Amino acid sequence: MSLLSLPISMVPAIFDLQNSHVLPALIRKFHEAKERSDGKIVVWVTATPCREFLYVDGMTDACVYVMNKSGFTDRVNIGVGDDIAIGELAKIVGDVIGYHERLELDTSKPDGTP
């Protein structure tokens, strides 16, 4: 048996605003904006790309599980099969954190991988 892992957007617990993945970066941006009482938050994208997210520990647990089992002859989908637009994700993060100010999209920044 061989195992090929082709992960979706992993969500590590890294909150660096310049280099982290979109979900931890949004959490940090919204939290800091709320703490500072900023009147707006800037999100780097057009907000239309969609992503599916999986916490990195969930991926590693699933890979170990599959590697320890025999009989897998087909692909194994470790994701849930649902994605979300980045703009919608930003609104959800803002709601959870309690930040309801203006959301500004910086379309000069890359949308990420297609």
Record: fold of 9-105:
UDP-galactose 4-epimerase; domain 1 (3.90.25)
Record the tokens describing residue 38, joined without a space.
């900023």
pLDDT value at 21 more than 80: no
Distances (CA, A) of 99 to 23, 39, 43, 76, 84: 15, 10, 14, 38, 20
DSSP lists the bridge partners of residue 40 as: 102
Tell me the C-alpha to C-alpha distance, in Å, between residue 83 and each of 16, 17, 45, 49, 55.
23, 22, 16, 10, 14
Burial of 69 (0-12, 13-18, 19+ CB in 10 A): exposed
* Overall average pLDDT of the 79-107 stretch: 88
Q: Taking 80 as the threshold, does the pLDDT of residue 3 lie above it?
A: no
Specify the pLDDT at position 32.
Answer: 92
67 vs 33, more confident: 33
Query: Region 54-83: what's the mean pLDDT?
Result: 79
Q: Domain residues of the chain, as ranges?
A: 9-105
Give the pTM.
Answer: 0.70
